């Protein structure tokens, strides 16, 4: 497959569809130097983006949290996504909306004189964890910690928050793992590099409280599904030593969807009935 910079098709940029290879930015773009960028990852199933408006709303909120107001409305972003899918003839796709501080009069930390730009791209993308979707992913324990909300707006889906994710995923892959699990700065279980985590114990579900991690849209969806199934859900602080007492585990995210986990560090989990049932229910929901 060609690199992401060298493909046929179209990308929406600042109000217009441009040929894929022409969707470029200047080397002095503020975001490239100072991580002034927010984004959304979305999936389109059978021509319909799941929770599309919720993603567009969160994109605008992420921009607000980073003091980077995005000059496009939810309706305009929704139209852009529709136009991109149509222009690229896609019905099953991953959709990436990204907003960033562009090049302008400022080239220091301050960037108020620089325009906030927006782009939407879409492409075909299969299971994020490959065969792990069926067999159960293997996770490393990241050496980095998720930061305190007092150090960065952790509720924003901001590019800068993913630097330690890239490093941790590289380290995990070198060990033969699919991903890595973070603890937060307090030592509580947090999340994977691009997905939230759930655990099962004695028929009940436990998941980290989203007080220092992104409260994922898929996470919220799955919690709602579990409650509809009358399965108790405990959103709480989880200590690493509790992992030995959980029987099942899965990850949730737009890219990950619902992916079973078979191992985290030294701890092993069953790919059990609840995990499979939740994955099947989610698959049915996104295509309904």
Rounded distance between C-alpha atoms, residue 5 and residue 234, angstroms: 43
- Is-catalytic flag, 157? yes
Q: Cα angle vertex 259, ends 258, 261, to 5°?
A: 135
Rounded distance between C-alpha atoms, residue 267 and residue 244, angstroms: 6
Q: Is 272 in contact with 231 (CB distance < 8 Å)?
A: no
Q: Is 184 in contact with 239 (CB distance < 8 Å)?
A: no
Rounded distance between C-alpha atoms, residue 218 and residue 129, angstroms: 16
Q: Is 97 in contact with 22 (CB distance < 8 Å)?
A: no
Tokens of 91: 């019905």
Look at residues 265, 63, 95, 73 and name the one whose alpha carbon lies nearest to residue 172.
265
DSSP character string of 98-144: EEEE-SSS--SS--TTSPEEEEEEEE----TTTTHHHH-EEEEEEEE
Active-site pick, 133, 157, 169, 201: 157
Tokens of 107: 């080239």
Q: Is 156 in contact with 193 (CB distance < 8 Å)?
A: no
C-alpha distance from residue 235 to each of 29, 67, 97, 199 (Å): 40, 29, 29, 11
Look at residues 62, 120, 132 and name the one whose alpha carbon lies nearest to residue 94.
120
Which residues are identified as catalytic?
A: 157
């Amino acid at each position: 497959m060609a690199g992401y910079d060298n493909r046929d098709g179209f990308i929406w940029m600042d109000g217009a569809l441009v040929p894929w290879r022409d969707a470029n930015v200047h080397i002095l773009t503020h975001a490239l130097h100072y991580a002034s960028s927010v984004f959304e990852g979305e999936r389109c199933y059978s021509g319909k983006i799941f929770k599309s408006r919720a993603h567009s709303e969160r994109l605008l909120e992420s921009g607000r949290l980073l003091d980077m107001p995005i000059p496009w409305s939810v309706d305009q972003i929704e139209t852009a996504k529709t136009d991109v899918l149509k222009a690229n003839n896609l019905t099953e796709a991953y959709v990436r909306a990204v907003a960033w501080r562009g090049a302008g009069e400022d080239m220091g930390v301050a960037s108020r004189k620089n325009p906030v730009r927006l782009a939407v791209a879409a492409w075909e993308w299969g299971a994020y964890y490959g065969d792990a979707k069926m067999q159960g992913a293997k996770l490393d324990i990241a050496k980095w910690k998720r930061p305190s909300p007092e150090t960065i707006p952790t509720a924003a889906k901001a590019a800068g928050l993913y630097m330690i994710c890239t490093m941790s995923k590289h380290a995990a892959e070198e060990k033969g793992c699919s991903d890595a699990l973070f603890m937060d700065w307090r030592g509580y279980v947090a999340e994977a590099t691009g997905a939230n985590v759930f655990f099962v114990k004695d028929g009940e579900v436990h998941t980290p409280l989203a007080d220092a991690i992104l409260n994922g849209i898929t996470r919220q969806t799955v919690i709602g599904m579990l409650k509809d199934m009358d399965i108790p859900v405990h959103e709480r602080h989880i200590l690493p030593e509790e992992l030995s007492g959980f029987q099942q585990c899965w990850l949730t995210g737009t890219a990950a969807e619902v992916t079973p986990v078979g191992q985290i560090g030294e701890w092993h989990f069953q790919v059990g009935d609840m995990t499979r049932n939740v994955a099947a229910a989610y698959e049915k929901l996104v295509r309904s």
